[in-house]
Amino acid sequence: MIDYLISLIPLAVGLYTLSFARWLWKEKNNKRGAIGTTLLTVITLALTFYAIFIREPF
């Protein structure tokens, strides 16, 4: 149960960062920055959820 509550924090940060990437893509026409921001967010979220749910505890 606590794992799900802990995972809400990186999920909220990831959603905020993805909205920033969308803003970069549309408003600033910075497609390269938007793609980099999106990739960084997806990799960070994947590693975070791996660490919370899949990895064996010490």
pLDDT, tens only, 8-18: 999 999 999 99
Tell me whether residue 52 is in a domain.
yes
Tell me whether residue 2 is in a domain.
no
Tell me whether residue 36 is in a domain.
yes
Residue corresponding to tokens 């497609």: 31
Tell me whether residue 45 is in a domain.
yes
Residue 46 pLDDT more than 90?
A: yes
Provide the residue range defining the domain that includes 25.
17-58
Tell me whether residue 6 is in a domain.
no
Tell me whether residue 21 is in a domain.
yes
pLDDT tens-digit map of 26-44 = 999 999 999 999 999 999 9
Estimate to the nearest angstrom the gap between the alpha carbon of 36 and the chain centroid. 12
